[in-house]
Structure 1
Amino acid sequence: MITSPHDDLDSRVRAAAMAWLRLRCTPEDPVVSRSELLGFQFEGHAFPLIDNQLGIRKPQGMAAALSILTTYTSDGARAPYEDAVGNDGLLRYKFQGNPKHYTNVGLRVAFEHRVPLMWFFGIKQGLYLPFFPVWIVAVEPEQSQVAVALDEAQRHLSVDTVTSEIERRYSQRITKQRLHQPVFRQRVIQAYESACAMCRLRHRSLLDAAHIIPDRDTRGVPAVSNGVSLCKIHHAAYDENILGVRPDYVIEVRTDILEEIDGPMLKHGLQAMHNLRLTLPQRRADRPNSGLLEERYERFRAG
């Protein structure tokens, strides 16, 4: 028997899964593993939240899809978020093969009945950052995709016919703040093994992904090689040009800061960083791009 999206079982499954994610994903540990998602228990029974092989989870017996998944790919494999956002600022998710495949039908049903889904975005092999609830707000069969809203505000936009530039920019900002920035942050922090590259602080909730070239710049892409995992103090100091990083990964503290006399934070938190070397990711592809570092370092020197 297939339950409709309005049946009690369907609503209980969605509510239980999202309640578990809210408890499981904390500021200190916001990502969830593939094994945890496959091992989710619902009312005493195994009920995987993702499909073991497919990107769309449409459980047997349920009419609508429960979740969608974006597999992790390194920055070298493709441009981050390429062709993922429409002119309306809404994200797109591609169909699974044949548009008539049962998983794609499940997405259509989720759209027709306006039920909430979960989106698991890969930030490392076997690790996912969850976004929930999300909604399918349009089916675009010619492009073999659906449009996905990340919050209530985006649900009420006219897909691809946004009536004003203000609406379009607002929607794009939501997508950037709700998905692109958190995914970039987690990918960078994971690459640096959840530590500040300067002081080695390991409290994830106090770590940021600092852009080398700012994201307001057209070249400030959300790639790990354009980021450095820094604690909030060193991120702020980097942004304010209190300290800089040379292309050989050596940290420099501004001369006037080195000459200041103040308390222990200045001495140990900033001045002690001078001439230290960044702790780098193991994967070469994840290390800061030397060309971007050089450009940013020149700005530091000019300041």
Structure 2
Amino acid sequence: MRNFQADDDSILRQAMFDHLDRCLAGAQAEFLSSRVINTFEIQGQPIRLIVQSGIRKVQGHPGALTIRTTYTPPSAVPPYIDDVGSNGLVRYKYRGQDEGHSDNRALRHAMETGLPLAYFVGIAPGIYLPIYPVYVEAEDQSRHEFAIAVDQYLHGHDLDSIDTFQREYRTSVTKARLHQPSFRARVLHAYNSTCTICRLHHAELLDAAHILPDSHPQGLPIVPNALTLCKLHHAAFDRNLLGIRPDFVVEVKPELLREIDGPMLQHGLKEMNGTQLVLPKERASRPDRARLLERYEEFRSTK
């Protein structure tokens, strides 16, 4: 493969971002397979963007081009969820323990020169959520890790003088740019981008709904604590207008069943009473019955 010159670097990175834009525009959801991601070419030359090591370098370019986080099983919390540093940025571990490893040197060069990268977050085997551009902001050699800014507005600031407000802001942005989209992607992928109640199959109209909320001790951002719901059924579920039994059957509030209104109430809610959920094929991704029971008891107790 032809070695791109140093002055081609910005062209290479912009071409990669354009490629990812096109892939996502043609997808039915915001996640992509590694096969699709790795169809990237520049000037007729193929370049794999996802590699086994997790850190992608291109020959002739000292700075890393992409980074990757591996897939986490459905019932496990992804490692980056809680691994946010005191600066509010994501911690990304070294390749091994050697700070002089070529992959770590490539990330260090990207940090020192402010190069933008693409970050591929694993949500299922061979399936990734692309987040870009991201930036390597800092390095902690004692912890063998780098700090990654997952939003361009967090890039290029002084991290040594960060105060509590700035850390909270950075953490909230990291959650909005990484944690929430990755949770959504994991849940939608598990349910094949389908509303578990009404079978609506348009990802742009679907939400990843928690069974037990974030504030609950068991309200973890894991697939068994989630359902893919369309906007209507998500709102109805949150407001206890409908409930889901632990045997995966939908119940609609008796008051709603007695109401007479337009077609949305009739077909969108009343006719869902007694519906059996469409469940993920993978058993590990199916709703946790204990969490459903607790949520269902709340539904039953609400007037």
Tell me which residue corresponds to 2:62.
63
Q: Distance in 2 between matches of 1:163 and 1:72?
A: 33
Name stretches of at least 5 consecutive residues in structure 1 with no aligned partner: none
124-133 or 83-92, larger mean C-alpha shift: 83-92
User: SS where residue 139 of structure 1 aligns?
Assistant: strand
**Partner Cα distance (1:257, 1:196) in 2:** 21
The residue number in structure 2 matching 1:46 is 46
Cα distance change, pair 157–244 in 1 and its aligned pair in 2 (3 A): farther
Shift of 1:171: 1.3
Instruction: Give the Cα separation in 2 of the matches to 1:212 and 1:159.
Output: 37
Q: Distance in 2 between matches of 1:3 and 1:143?
A: 33
Alpha-carbon displacement from aligned partner over 1:16-60 (angstroms, at most 9, x marks no partner): 000111222137332221112223111111111122x21000111
Greater CA drift, 213-222 or 139-148: 213-222
What is aligned with 1:120? 120
Change in Cα spacing, 1:3 to 1:104, as seen in structure 2 (3 Å) is: farther
Contact kept, 8 Å, 1:87 with 1:160, in 2: the verdict is no
Normalized against structure 1, the TM-score is what?
0.93
Q: Distance in 1 between matches of 2:161 and 2:226?
A: 34
* Per-residue deviation, residues 79-121 of structure 1 (Å, max 9, x unmatched): 5535421233210111111321111100000000011000001
- Paired position in structure 1 for 2:131: 131
Taking structure 1 as reference, are residues 238 and 48 closer, same or farther at Cα in structure 2, changes over 3 Å only?
Answer: same
| 1:143-186: CA deviation from partner (whole Å, max 9, x where unpaired) | 1110000123322554475312x222211111111111111111
Give the root-mean-square deviation of aligned CA atoms.
Answer: 1.9
For the pair 1:184 / 2:183, whether they are aligned, the reply is: yes
Matching residue of 2:140:
140
Q: How many residues align?
A: 299
Output the amino acid matched with 1:145. Answer: E
Q: State the shift of 1:77 in Å.
A: 5.3
Instruction: Tell me the distance in 1 between the aligned counterparts of 2:87 and 2:139.
Output: 14
Partner of 1:284: 283
1:271 maps to: 270
How far 1:261 moved relative to its partner? 0.4
2-structure distance, mates of 1:104, 1:297: 49
Counting only pairs closer than 5 Å after superposition, residues 94-173 of structure 1 correspond to structure 2 as 94-97=93-96, 98-159=98-159, 162-164=162-164, 166-173=165-172
For residues 201 and 293 of structure 2, what CA distance do their matches in structure 1 show?
Answer: 27
Cα distance in 1, alignment partners of residues 227 and 244 from structure 2: 10
1:207 partner amino acid: L
Larger deviation: 60-69 or 211-220? 211-220
Measure the CA separation in 2 of the matches of 1:183 and 1:193: 15
Identity %: 45
